[in-house]
Amino acid sequence: MKAIDQVTVTFTSRSANEGFARACAACFAAQLDPTLDEVADIKTAVSEAVTNAIVHAYPDRLGKITMRLRLFDGGVLDIQVKDSGVGIPDVDKARTPLFTTGGEERSGMGFTIMESFMDGLKVRSQPGKGTTVTMRKRIARRAGASQ
């Protein structure tokens, strides 16, 4: 399946860039004419993915995070958040609700939140090489909207 539009942005793993990533994803998705609830879902999922990369991928240094946004026919938004950080040794365990390697202040709900706000979630990771989180959401076509 070929994307009908896409954009890729790379930014430093600074916490201030989490807001940038949220806004970027929301602006890109706007061409699908999403509802406010759909925009909120997208922003929340992106926030969780980017925050995971900031906190867990680069725990003791700054690194690069790349976010690729693509649109497919039928109103499908594909979001990929990729880092080259420490990686996840056990993805299944990391996807378990309440599991965290980030200390007491982390809830361990990041992947669970992403999964609940998006229609699809894939997590690929290799220790020492980084993690790629891919999320998909279908934006419902509203009456009178053109896509």
Upper half-sphere CA count for residue 22 (Cβ side, 13 Å): 15
Is 141 a known active-site residue?
A: no
The residue type found at 21 is A
Q: Using only C-alpha atoms, what is the Rg of the chain?
A: 15
| Residue in 95, 106, 124, 136 annotated catalytic | 106
Most distant CA pair in the chain: distance in Å?
50
Is 52 a known active-site residue?
A: yes
Chain centroid, CA 101 distance in Å: 19
| Residue in 17, 38, 48, 70 annotated catalytic | 48
Is 106 a known active-site residue?
A: yes
| Residue in 17, 38, 52, 70 annotated catalytic | 52
CA 103 – CA 112 distance, rounded (Å)? 18
| Active-site residue list | 48, 52, 106
